Amino acid sequence: MTIKNDLGFSTFGYADDIVIIVQGKFAHTVREIMQNALNVVAMGAVIKRLNISPHKTVMVPFTNRRKTEGLGPLKLHGKDLKMLGEVKYLGVIPHSRLTWNQLLQKIIRKTQTTFALVRRTCGRKWGLRHNMVHWLYTRVLDPPYFMVPWSGGPRS
């Protein structure tokens, strides 16, 4: 679900996860727009009889600036929101500096573990046949780590 408006923010939701994106040049302006966005989303949730938990809600400023003063604190239901350097959203862990190091390290560890399990199953002189190893590689190792879920699909 994507909601765009002329209030200066965009909202993207999937299942029970939601992202509010605000961009701007000045921290104080971004903070005001974000607080307004939180208020609008909270009101919409009340109307739809949904609950937004302030202790599960976090703010991650994606910026190259060293200082993030002026961006917080944001309030939801009267409680201050935490500002973090990274957050997991739909299995992806973007860092506030937009580096993908932690996600890539996690993917490498999972791939190495899975590959070690497949290799252990397929010993040198015994184990699975070549076609079964190929099937494991193409169906188990390859797909989960080379998908790009936010790409919008193939282009022709």
**Sequence spans of domains, the chain:** 2-83, 101-145
How far is it, in rounded angstroms, from Cα 100 to Cα 62? 13
pTM exceeding 0.85? no
pLDDT in tens, the chain (156 residues): 555 677 788 888 887 788 888 888 888 888 888 888 888 888 888 888 888 888 888 888 877 777 777 777 888 888 888 888 888 878 777 778 777 787 788 888 888 888 787 777 766 666 677 777 777 777 766 655 444 444 444 454
Phi, psi (degrees; rounded to nearest 5) at 139: -100, -25
Contact present, 77 and 42 (Cβ < 8 Å)? yes
Question: What is the chain's percent helix, strand, coil content, to nearest 5?
Answer: 35, 15, 45
